[in-house]
């Protein structure tokens, strides 16, 4: 059996395990005050081209979204997100748990469109009853999106421009950031993202780490007393070293980008196999996740050798199957798939 179930089936990149092992008995202060965390923060600031950015390490994606959104929104505000966005659908209501509404905007292939965003905002402010509504206080996008699509540079610039016009912080969920940036279709760099957003996170969990997401407040705009707010949400890791060492490793010698590129190379080969097999794509994806439509019978056959994910249900009743590559996918895994 090989697994293409998701991009978090393996542990950590071996280099990370090695570093965790080597540093294991070193005495370090807790709560992110250790020098590995400081080093990781410095490397991330550098790769983002943001000397004044603040970098904070958190444990997981939903946690990161909840912490960032709820500490940046003001009482009367909610967060705009695509209706298919992770915060809209797949976080068990974590944003609402913080007392804030997710203002769902109909997306297209997982993406918000700048004109639709602008229209939404214009309508909100021209509605005379808007004091009885939830004010838009932030825009959330994901890159890549949940179904694996990408914003082009011009699309992101357009969204960023609307946000600036309405003084809304733009937040980019980069749970799979590496796989997006290394996609052959991407025309964005991490510096572009840092420039065009107010805050974003660099996903570790799905890109080589055991756990961990690095939040970048790109304009020195980290909320006041952030550590206390993180603790209040049960999200402060005592042994911050676990996050610091991982991100320090990922941002040494471009490891994060190298392993992301590998996942994309594997995804391109996976697409070839999908074509060879005649499997029907649900949609075209330029990143590490490929979505295909399958009947129960086809899934039964596939399931004999391959672990995959039932990502959703298509309008015609077929299942949307997700096959994901990652930093840990090997050529031999693809060969098994080719042979099913």
Residue 86 contacts residue 55 (beta carbons within 8 Å): no
Q: Work out whether 229 is an interface residue with its own copies (CB under 8 A).
A: yes
Q: Work out whether 108 is an interface residue with its own copies (CB under 8 A).
A: no
Q: Work out whether 242 is an interface residue with its own copies (CB under 8 A).
A: yes
Q: Work out whether 15 is an interface residue with its own copies (CB under 8 A).
A: no
- List 239, 258, 277, 318, residue binding its own copies (CB under 8 A): 239
Q: Work out whether 29 is an interface residue with its own copies (CB under 8 A).
A: yes
Q: Work out whether 167 is an interface residue with its own copies (CB under 8 A).
A: no
Which of 69, 251, 279, 102 has the alpha carbon at shortest distance from 169?
Answer: 69
- Residues that bind its own copies (rule: CB under 8 A) add up to a total of 88
Q: Work out whether 134 is an interface residue with its own copies (CB under 8 A).
A: yes
- Residue with token string 């400081």: 38
Q: Work out whether 99 is an interface residue with its own copies (CB under 8 A).
A: yes
The C-alpha atoms of residue 321 and residue 310 are separated, in whole angstroms, by 5
Q: Work out whether 220 is an interface residue with its own copies (CB under 8 A).
A: no
One symbol per residue from 304 to 323: x for binding its own copies (CB under 8 A), - otherwise; what is it? ---x--xxxx----------
Which of 313, 303, 308, 315 has the alpha carbon at shortest distance from 340?
Answer: 303
- Taking CB under 8 A as the binding criterion, the range among 38-46, 61-69, 277-285, 294-302 that sits at the site for its own copies is 61-69
Structure tokens at 125: 């402010």
Contacts of 70 (CB under 8 A, 6+ apart): 95, 98, 99, 100, 233
The C-alpha atoms of residue 335 and residue 156 are separated, in whole angstroms, by 37
Sign, CA dihedral 242-247-250-256, equals: positive
Q: Which is nearer to its own copies, 53 or 209 (CB)?
A: 209
- List 35, 46, 90, 164, residue binding its own copies (CB under 8 A): 90
């Amino acid at each position: 059996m090989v697994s293409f179930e998701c991009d978090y089936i393996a542990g950590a990149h071996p280099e990370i395990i090695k570093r965790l092992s080597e540093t294991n008995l070193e005495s370090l202060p807790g709560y992110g005050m250790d020098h590995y965390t400081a080093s990781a923060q410095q490397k991330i600031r550098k790769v983002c081209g943001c000397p004044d950015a603040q970098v904070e390490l958190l444990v997981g994606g939903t946690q990161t979204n909840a912490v960032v959104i709820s500490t940046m929104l003001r009482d009367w505000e909610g967060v705009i997100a695509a209706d298919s966005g992770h915060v809209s659908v797949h976080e068990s209501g974590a944003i609402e748990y913080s007392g804030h509404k997710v203002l769902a905007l109909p997306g297209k292939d997982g993406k918000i469109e700048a004109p639709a965003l602008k229209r939404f905002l214009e309508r909100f402010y021209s509605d005379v009853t808007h004091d009885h509504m939830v004010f838009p206080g932030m825009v959330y996008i994901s890159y890549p999106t949940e179904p694996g699509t990408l914003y082009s540079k011009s699309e992101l610039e357009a969204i960023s421009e609307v946000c600036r016009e309405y003084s809304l912080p733009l937040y980019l969920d980069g749970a799979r950031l590496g796989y997006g940036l290394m996609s052959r279709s991407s025309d964005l760099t991490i510096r572009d993202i840092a420039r065009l957003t107010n805050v974003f996170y660099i996903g570790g969990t799905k890109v080589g780490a055991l756990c961990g997401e690095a939040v970048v407040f790109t304009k020195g705009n980290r909320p006041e007393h952030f550590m206390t707010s993180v603790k209040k949400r049960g999200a402060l890791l005592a042994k911050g070293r676990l996050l610091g060492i991982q991100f320090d490793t990922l941002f040494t010698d471009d490891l994060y980008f190298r392993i992301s590129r590998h996942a994309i190379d594997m995804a391109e080969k996976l697409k070839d196999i999908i074509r060879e097999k005649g499997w029907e794509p649900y949609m075209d994806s330029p990143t590490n996740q490929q979505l295909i439509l399958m009947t129960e019978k086809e899934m039964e056959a596939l399931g004999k050798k391959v672990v995959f994910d039932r990502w959703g249900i298509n309008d015609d009743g077929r299942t949307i199957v997700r096959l994901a590559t990652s930093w840990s996918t090997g050529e031999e895994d693809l060969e098994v798939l080719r042979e099913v």
